[in-house]
Amino acid sequence: MKPIDHPGAAKPLLPLRLPQHQSEPGESGLHGWLFGALLLGLVAASFLSLDLQWAQFLSRDAISRMGGFLAEFYPPELGITFLHKVAIGAWETLAMSALGTLLASLAGLALALPAARLHQQDRAWARGPSRLLLNALRSIPELVWATLLLISAGLGPFAGTLALALHTTGVLGRLFAEALENAAPGPAAALRLQGVGEGRILLWATLPQVLPQLLSYALYRWENNIRAATVLGVVGAGGLGQLLSFHLGLFHMPKTATLLLAMLALVLLVDAGSLLARRVLTR
């Protein structure tokens, strides 16, 4: 039988817990001021170490020469034949960026799973190599990837698409891994206590929390890849960039102006579409 506790009976002693150290109210503010001072010192050192010739840049002669150069872009070329070429190049650029971002999103998520800390002790050995691979992919610029891939894939948008996919995989993989790590651990812990496997925990507890954030990252990188795809055309990867490199090299300024306007319209279109998609996802 369980003994009955009397009002005057002595109660068992609880283990003594030492008070945890708490920072003073002004300590966090002091750290913020120190960080701000170091950041300002770094910016000041950057200005002092670089040879920034502001006087020459803002001189009357430089401004007049820049104005004369910009005046050569007007009026832009609006011929039907050239606009048809611009439309084909814009479609290639859009397709390169979309397909490259899609491939990078899938590969980035596959690499983010072992790179993130998700209480999977049996896969801890894969965390280091996965993070190293992600760092290597995003540390190499798209232009270098395209130059390397042109040797094997040849000229055209295929090399540009692969270059965008490789670099963006490293960027999205790191962002996806951080998003998975920052997910609320409560739902996953509750399912884990019930004996649910890690795969089902990821599918039903972790991914639903971070899916809007993952899609937002992917859409943002799609906007960046639009601009990156135009740069890749300089090395022969197709799209608007290849047309821009050709006509700018021959000093065809009206045609160059049309290509720049097409790039601006393409970026605005993708930006508006991604903004609409974000609003739909966050409702």
- Tens-digit pLDDT profile for residues 42-88: 888 888 888 777 778 788 888 888 888 888 888 888 889 899 999 99
Highest mean pLDDT, choosing among 55-59, 78-82, 155-159, 223-227 = 78-82
In whole angstroms, what is the distance from residue 87 CA to residue 44 CA? 46
Residue 5 CA: distances (Å) to CA of 10, 15, 270:
9, 20, 72
Average pLDDT for 252-262: 89
Q: Is the peptide bond before 12 cis (omega within 30 degrees of 0)?
A: no
Look at 13 and 125; give whichever has higher pLDDT: 125
Average pLDDT for 269-277: 79
Q: How confident is the model at residue 14 (pLDDT cuts 50, 70, 90)?
A: very low
Q: Is pLDDT of 169 > 90?
A: yes
Which pLDDT score, from 0 to 100, does residue 234 have? 72
Residue 165 CA: distances (Å) to CA of 26, 230, 273:
47, 15, 21
Lowest mean pLDDT segment, chosen from 84-88, 131-135, 148-152, 162-166? 148-152
Average pLDDT for 246-252: 83
Q: How confident is the model at residue 119 (pLDDT cuts 50, 70, 90)?
A: low
Highest mean pLDDT, choosing among 10-14, 132-136, 246-250 = 132-136
- Looking at the domain 80-282, which fold is it? MetI-like fold (1.10.3720)
Look at 148 and 25; give whichever has higher pLDDT: 148
Which pLDDT score, from 0 to 100, does residue 101 have? 92
Confirm if 266 and 94 have CB atoms less than 8 A apart. yes
In whole angstroms, what is the distance from residue 272 CA to residue 207 CA? 26
Look at 49 and 165; give whichever has higher pLDDT: 165
Q: Is pLDDT of 107 > 90?
A: yes
In whole angstroms, what is the distance from residue 164 CA to residue 104 CA? 8
Look at 254 and 119; give whichever has higher pLDDT: 254
Phi-psi region of 56 (alpha: psi -120 to 50; beta: other; left: phi over 0): alpha
Domain ranges for the chain, please list them: 80-282
Which pLDDT score, from 0 to 100, does residue 168 have? 93
In whole angstroms, what is the distance from residue 257 CA to residue 102 CA? 30
What is the pTM for the complete model shown?
0.73
Which pLDDT score, from 0 to 100, does residue 217 have? 87
Average pLDDT for 162-169: 92
